[in-house]
A and B are shown apart, each in its own frame.
Chain A
Amino acid sequence: MRAVAHRPTPPPAWQPRTDPAPLLPDAEPHRLLGTDAMAGADPELLLSLYDRLVLGRRFNTQATALTKQGRLAVYPSSTGQEACQVAAALALERRDWLFPSYRDTLAAVTRGMDPVRVLTLLRGDWHTGYDPYEHRVAPLSTPLATQLPHAVGLAHAARLKGDDVVALALVGDGGTSEGDFHEALNFAAVWRAPVVFLVQNNGFAISVPLAKQTAAPSLAHKAVGYGMPGRLVDGNDAPAVHQVVSEALARARSGGGPTLIEAVTYRIEAHTNADDATRYREEPEVELWRRHDPILLLERELTGRGLLDEDRRRSAADAAEAMAAELRERMNADPVLDPMDLFAHVYAEKTGQLREQSELLRAELTAEGETR
């Protein structure tokens, strides 16, 4: 068609690229516990969630105790958030990948990893103590939200290779303010990468409450801007988290692209053992959340349905106690350190500079040995 110079054609009428309505999260967080929908729930799954929550809580208290004994340099507790981490990790297939942040040790343990290896970073005898390929768990990421683009890239690569693999990336409410959160969600949506983003909104980024973090109606609403669905779920309702994450994984698996899930929960403990939460929040608020505890909620439901009796409760507690005892014992042994490891993995092959420096350290170690 020939353009008419003196009569510019109008631009095409503006059209939204995507209908935002189906992407919007529900007004209320999704809940299953205490609703009629529980009638159809799989009792085996519920009991498995219960056992894992009890184990997870004990893991948190034991790890916190280990900081007091000097066996862990630091521990960011996920007490109160166990349902998010346990239910999300249980929704994954073995072939899927998990991208945790530093507070997500419990999700990694739920994947079947050795707790001592997961805690290596926080013990301080190395950075990542496990082989990420063994259980398909990326290293615990400390710089906030920086692991999210990794999850997108891995999921994208898996899709290019034709593999049935989904990546589940965990991030906190504070992390949603980081640029990498934005870039990762945007890339994921544009590439339709099989990735699920799970935000554990625990109310605080160390001391800063969500109100100072975002003006969005909810964190799940952010999904709409990227053209992916946002889901809001009660993060203390383990069956609900399991359901919402499972649906998002299935959607990603079938080529439907990414989903952003906001799990509303609460960080019962301080940020870490080095933090003092009384400086920025009141005890009555914490008390309210204690009454909405994920284990308490599930226990009430299971007892009401006759799925949980005293024996079953005791066996879960005993298993958790045994795990804690073993963890205590193993963590009380001094880790074996080899200072020469400092140079071993910087490059595939040591550079000349590193060879010189490793010889210097070796000489120092030899001299130390002689003087002892």
Chain B
Amino acid sequence: MTPATTEARAAAKPATMAQALKRAMRDAMAEDPSVHVLGEDVGTLGGVFRITDGLAAEFGDDRCTDTPLAEAGILGAAVGMAMYGLRPVVEMQFDAFAYPAFEQLISHVARMRNRTRGRMPLPITVRVPYGGGIGGVEHHSDSSEAYYMATPGLQVVTPATVEDAYGLLRAAIAADDPVVFLEPKRLYWSKSSWSPTAPAKVPPLGRAVVRRPGTGATLITYGPSLPVCLEAAEAAAAEGWDLEVVDLRSLVPFDDETVCASVRRTGRAVVVHESTGFGGPGGEIAARVTERCFHHLEAPVLRVAGFDIPYPPPMLERHHLPGVDRVLDAVARLQWEAES
């Protein structure tokens, strides 16, 4: 089979988010020899989620490196590599396994540009599979985005679609700032007709997007909760609510403009995420919306979030994760009676 027909077949088949992420790294590595991938099991195995599958075979062990099992060491080494002009893409195997690298991330990765007055920027991408819904046992399902959001100097990005998985990862790798790239692992196998052969559109980082236009209320969400919100919006339509769904895509920088434009149009907002509600991203988002759109609001901004508990064991996680019903219940509480 010629490469052209292989590509055509690939294009005809729906692509998964996992394939799009792999393709993004592959293309970045092919274009820029300074892009290096490193992490645990990323070489021969292709990563536990197979996101780096084939990279070591194509680019060699020096470009896609199996490291010793030590997250602080991996990220710390990436800092040194970036100091020397490389563009490391680090894989943290799971959300909760990224915690040993926190000191490097908070004390060095996030601060080096500022510390050196811009002389030593660190263009590092830290890929972190995050969130629940895959039946993972303890330490495999955390939503750790709030920790990263609270650290100035980091960009925090998360795709929710196959197309964005490719585009945002390309943009993250190309960015001159460190990016924590959160991959919603339960969407790894989600599919779309996106074709890796189509001309790649690299979206700018820091821009939210309206995934479903609506007039009645805005669901503000990101990553793993986007499909939940889109499904909720469909169900709500049957009950007479026309919901708009905003996919943030980037938690830092935060796109106040797109979010507030939507809320000003609809007058109501619900923030939906898996992360805990208390101290979670929803509090910040609700505050920002309230500060900027107070006079347009018909009801308080509500949050639908994970409970304020350590992530539950897999047989109980369905009670914890915000689902369609919980989103619809929140929508129902948006003081509609005032309108009738």
Contact = CB atoms under 8 A, between A and B. Distances in A.
6 contacts: A153-B82, A180-B104, A187-B70, A187-B77, A347-B155, A348-B177
Interface residues of B, number: 49
Interface string A206-225: 00000000000000000000
A51 to B, nearest CB: 30
B126 to A, nearest CB: 14
A2 interface: no
A155 B72 CA distance: 17
- Which of B84, B107, B114, B120 has most chain A Cβ within 10 Å? B84
Interface stretch (B40-48, B250-258, B294-302, B313-321): B250-258
Interface of A: 126-128, 131-133, 138-139, 143, 146, 148-158, 160-161, 167, 179-180, 182-184, 186-187, 190, 341, 344-348, 351-353
Nearest to A157: B84
B76 A183 contact: yes
Given A345-B114, A352-B253, 5 more contacts: A133-B120, A150-B108, A154-B83, A161-B84, A182-B70
A153 B79 CA distance: 7
Nearest to B206: A351
A346 B114 contact: yes
B117 A157 contact: no
B152 A149 contact: no
Contacts of A160: 36, 62, 86
B72 to A, nearest CB: 5
A300 to B, nearest CB: 40
Interface of B: 36, 62, 67-68, 70, 72-73, 75-86, 88, 100, 103-104, 107-108, 111-121, 152-153, 155, 175-177, 206, 252-257
Nearest to B176: A348
A345 B80 contact: no
B336 to A, nearest CB: 32
A160 B62 CA distance: 7
A152 B65 CA distance: 15
B338 to A, nearest CB: 32
Nearest to A129: B117
Contacts of A150: 76-77, 79-80, 83, 108
Nearest to A138: B83
A85 B79 CA distance: 24
A101 B255 CA distance: 39
A343 B198 CA distance: 39
Given A143-B103, A157-B81, A158-B84, A344 B118 contact: yes
B81 to A, nearest CB: 4
Contacts of B112: 139
A344 B117 CA distance: 8
B35 to A, nearest CB: 12
A153 B81 contact: yes
A190 B69 CA distance: 12
Nearest to A153: B80
Contact of A152 (B76, B114, B153, B253): B76
- Which of A131, A154, A344, A347 has most chain B Cβ within 10 Å? A347
B76 A184 contact: yes
A155 B103 CA distance: 21
| CB-CB nearest 3 A-B residue pairs | A153-B80, A149-B76, A183-B73
B257 A352 contact: yes
A131 B67 CA distance: 30
Nearest to B78: A153
A149 B117 contact: no
Contacts of B117: 126, 128, 341, 344-345
Contacts of B155: 347
A219 to B, nearest CB: 19
A123 to B, nearest CB: 15
A128 B115 contact: yes
B83 A132 contact: yes
Contacts of B121: 348
A243 B130 CA distance: 50
Nearest to A341: B117
A346 B75 CA distance: 20
Contacts of B88: 153
B80 A353 contact: no
Contacts of A353: 253-254, 256
Contact of A346 (B83, B107, B152, B255): B152
B121 to A, nearest CB: 7
Contact of A179 (B72, B82, B84): B72
A348 B206 CA distance: 13
Nearest to A152: B77
A133 B108 CA distance: 17
A153 B83 contact: yes
Contact of A155 (B79, B80, B206): B80
Contact of A154 (B62, B73, B81, B115): B81
A351 B175 CA distance: 14
Contact of B80 (A139, A152, A180, A347): A152
A153 B255 CA distance: 34
Contacts of B36: 160
Given A150-B83, A157-B81, A186-B70, A352 B113 contact: no
- Which of B62, B117, B177, B206 has most chain A Cβ within 10 Å? B117
A146 B114 contact: no
B81 A348 contact: no
Contacts of A153: 76-84, 88
Contact of A351 (B76, B83, B253): B253
Contacts of A183: 68, 70, 72-73, 76
Contact of A149 (B79, B84, B177): B79
A167 to B, nearest CB: 8
B68 A146 contact: no
Contact of A156 (B80, B111, B152): B80
